[in-house]
Amino acid sequence: MKLKVQYIFVFFAALSIIGCAKDPALYSESDGLYFGTGDSIVYSFAKYPKKTFDTIHVPVKVLGLSSAQDRPITLEVVSPETNAAVEGKEFKLPVDALVKANSYTGTVPVVVYRTPDLETNTLSFYVKIKPNGSFPGEAITASQKVKIKIAYMQQPANWGDLNGTTSTKWAGYKDYFGTWTPTKYKVILDALYDETTGTTITEFPGDRFVGQYPIVYNSYITRVKNYIKTNYPGNYNGGKGVVLLDPDHNNDTVRVGDAKYAY
């Protein structure tokens, strides 16, 4: 009987301790936003050669609570020191970006434009989140801004060179596409364009040796060559018909897939 009384005492003592414990602390920080992506985004119009503008949907996330109302997102532009894209020319930020009611995520639709400046340079800008009445907190400090790079006619890093003396990469070798130039690259992009997807082939990773590049690359050479023969027949039959010369390379005749004509 004495032992039973002791158990009862311990039980009620435990209840007393639990009852005196403080309630768990609820989330009390101010709601904030942060970008739900890496620190940079690269968009190349080379991938979409028929487009003159496009929209990049940059994800944002809420650090805090959801709301029963839509909440506006406030943004600002920060320009880099060099090769800065110009707002209103190369890009446009939305004026009405928001996080929908009862949601913890949203997107910032940034419109980018293909301009002549992209023919020679990759341009960039930063988009930064500014605190506002709906999101007064800073959230994750390292994710408060994102760098957006806009490109078009830039040589792929894995292109290679004509004679294979400094690189073994596939695309630039004389038996394939040869020396990269903007004029030749545009022809390649157009020839490999897929109407269904609205995209083209911009990168050709792999070494030039047989078995070290995808076999589909051989069909790429054939497609580009046939495209040139169809649209610029003079390039392959001694100048009879329309001819495409390359102003980026001594006005050479644009041809691919034959070391004899390579430049």
* Distance of alpha carbon 109 from alpha carbon 55, whole angstroms: 6
Q: Which helix (H) or strand (E) holds 129?
A: strand 123-130
* Distance of alpha carbon 199 from alpha carbon 46, whole angstroms: 9
Does the pLDDT of residue 147 top 80, yes or no? yes
203 residue type, one letter = E
Coil, helix or strand at residue 223: helix
pLDDT of 9 reads: 44
Domains in the chain and their CATH numbers? 32-151 (2.60.40.1740), 182-261 (no CATH)
Does the pLDDT of residue 185 top 90, yes or no? yes
Mean pLDDT calculated for residue range 122-144: 96
Q: Which two tokens stand for residue 253?
A: 């005749």
19 residue type, one letter = G
pLDDT of 84 reads: 98
Please give the full DSSP string across 162-211, using - where no structure is assigned. Answer: TTSSS--BSTTSTTTT-S--HHHHHHHHHHT-BTTTTB------SBSSTT
Angle between helices 182-191 and 216-231 (to 10 degrees): 100
pLDDT band of residue 245 (cuts 50, 70, 90) is very high
* Distance of alpha carbon 78 from alpha carbon 194, whole angstroms: 36
Nearest to 154 by CA among 109, 132, 191, 186: 186
pLDDT of 29 reads: 77
DSSP state of 83: S
Give the pLDDT confidence of 25-66 residue by residue, as tens digits: 444 579 999 999 999 999 999 999 999 999 999 999 999 999
Mean pLDDT calculated for residue range 128-138: 96
Mean pLDDT calculated for residue range 115-138: 96
Neighbours of 12 (CB within 10 A): 10
pTM as predicted: 0.81
| Lowest-confidence segment of 22-26, 49-53, 86-90, 177-181 by average pLDDT | 22-26
Q: What is the CA radius of gyration of the chain?
A: 30
